[in-house]
């Protein structure tokens, strides 16, 4: 697919997303006519959006998965969706019986909820979407962090959130980020940094889930150095230089080849 076609596809799915938020359901035939594309193209769009956790497909159309939730962050970066799925699937393999884990409010970490193993474990999260995906999972004991909901994060994100999470001890914390520089470190917004630092301090093992598009980027606030993670899970498109910088810090690098 050319870059221009990819952009058009993303724009179309964003419009489908807006439409299904309003109506609660969509019809393949109607969308095909509206966007002047084939039924197969619309079905492909709906399949991608189902994998993102936005909707549930059925014969002839799709229905919004969570009518009361606005997953603005779910459609933020769908260009690298296949990589995120592979990373999330690999991350879920780290969960063991009776683990207490933290799931970060990031799009890649959210995808882990589809691949949770059939073992009893406790999930602590500040993510609204994670809560919704796990609320009916019989293997999961679920704890939800309070605080002000931030739509751009898809979860609660303030000092109340941080205070609540500071009371937990985690076997493993699964964290996402939008910015990783393998020399400078891993960065984010100020409140997100503060919460992540609390989580990492209270966790036996810290695993970073990050696709290749996030590498070489940083913002002002750093919450961790590369060496502060036990494992980094990414896809096969990171540069040899970034791979070298991670491995020299004695961090386990888990590369998912698509």
Q: pLDDT (tens digit, 9 = 90+) per residue, 129-152?
A: 899 999 999 999 999 999 998 877
Q: What is the pLDDT of residue 82?
A: 83
The stretch 102-118 carries a mean pLDDT of 93
Q: What is the pLDDT of residue 9?
A: 79
Q: What is the pLDDT of residue 98?
A: 98
Please tell me if the domain spanning 3-68 has the same topology as the one spanning 78-256.
no
Q: pLDDT (tens digit, 9 = 90+) per residue, 42-100?
A: 998 898 887 666 788 888 889 887 654 444 454 544 557 888 989 999 999 999 999 99
Q: pLDDT (tens digit, 9 = 90+) per residue, 184-235?
A: 999 988 889 999 999 999 999 999 999 998 999 888 889 999 999 999 999 9
- First-to-last alpha carbon distance for the chain, in angstroms, is 17
221-224 sheet: strands from edge to edge: 179-181, 185-188, 221-224
Q: What is the pLDDT of residue 12?
A: 86
Buried b (16+ CB within 10 A) or exposed e, 159-195: eebbebbeebebbbbbbbbbbbbbeebbbbbebbbbb
Q: Quick one: fold of 3-68?
A: Arc Repressor Mutant, subunit A (1.10.10)
What percentage of the chain carries pLDDT values higher than 90?
Answer: 63
3-state secondary structure of 240: helix
Q: What is the pLDDT of residue 15?
A: 87
> Does pTM top 0.85 for this prediction?
no
Q: Quick one: fold of 78-256?
A: Rossmann fold (3.40.50)
The residue ranges of every structural domain in the chain are 3-68, 78-256
Half-sphere exposure of 175 (CA within 13 A, CB side): 32
DSSP bridge pairs for 185: 181
C-beta separation of 124 from 102 below 8 A: yes
Buried b (16+ CB within 10 A) or exposed e, 123-133: bbbbbbbbbbb
Q: pLDDT (tens digit, 9 = 90+) per residue, 3-55?
A: 445 547 777 888 888 888 888 889 999 999 999 999 999 998 898 887 666 78
């Amino acid at each position: 697919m050319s870059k221009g076609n990819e952009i058009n596809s993303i724009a179309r799915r964003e419009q489908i997303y807006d439409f299904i938020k309003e109506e609660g359901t969509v019809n393949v035939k109607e969308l095909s006519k509206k966007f002047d594309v084939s039924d197969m193209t619309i079905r492909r769009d709906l399949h991608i959006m189902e994998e993102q956790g936005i909707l549930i497909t059925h014969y002839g159309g799709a229905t919004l998965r969570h009518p009361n939730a606005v997953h603005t962050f779910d459609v933020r970066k769908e260009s690298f969706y296949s990589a995120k799925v592979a990373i999330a699937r690999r991350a879920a393999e780290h969960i063991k019986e009776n683990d207490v884990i933290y799931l970060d409010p990031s799009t890649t970490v959210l995808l882990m909820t589809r691949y949770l193993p059939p073992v009893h474990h406790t999930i602590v999260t500040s993510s609204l979407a994670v809560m919704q995906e796990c609320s009916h999972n019989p293997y999961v004991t679920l704890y939800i962090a309070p605080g002000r909901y931030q739509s751009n994060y898809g979860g609660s994100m303030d000092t109340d959130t941080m205070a609540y999470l500071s009371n937990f001890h985690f076997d493993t914390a699964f964290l996402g980020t939008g910015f990783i520089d393998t020399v400078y470190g891993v960065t984010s917004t100020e409140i997100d940094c503060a919460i992540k630092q609390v989580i990492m301090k209270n966790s036996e093992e810290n695993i970073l889930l990050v696709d290749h598009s996030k590498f070489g980027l940083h913002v002002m606030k750093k919450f961790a150095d590369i060496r502060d993670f036990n494992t980094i899970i990414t896809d096969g498109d990171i540069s040899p230089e970034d791979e070298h910088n991670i491995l020299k810090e004695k961090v386990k690098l888990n590369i998912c080849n698509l």
